[in-house]
Amino acid sequence: MHEMGIVSGILTASVDAAARQNATAINEIRIRVGELTEIVDDALYFAFEALTPGTLAEGATLVVEHVPGRSKCVECGTTFNHGRFDVECVGCGSYFCEMVEGRELEIESIDIDLPDEPDTGETP
Q: Is 98 in the site for Zn ion (CB under 5 A)?
A: no
Instruction: Report DSSP state, residue 122.
Output: -
| Identified binder of Zn ion from the candidate list 89, 102, 110, 112, rule CB under 5 A | 89
The whole-angstrom separation of Cα 3 and Cα 98 is 26
| Identified binder of Zn ion from the candidate list 58, 75, 98, 113, rule CB under 5 A | 75
- Among the candidate windows 13-21, 27-35, 69-77, 103-111, which touches Zn ion by CB under 5 A? 69-77
Q: Where are the beta strands (DSSP E) in 9-94?
A: 25-34, 61-67, 69-73, 79-82
Q: Is 94 in the site for Zn ion (CB under 5 A)?
A: yes
| Nearer to Zn ion among residue 76 and residue 107 (C-beta) | 76
Strands 61-67 and 25-34 turn out to be parallel
Q: Is 76 in the site for Zn ion (CB under 5 A)?
A: yes
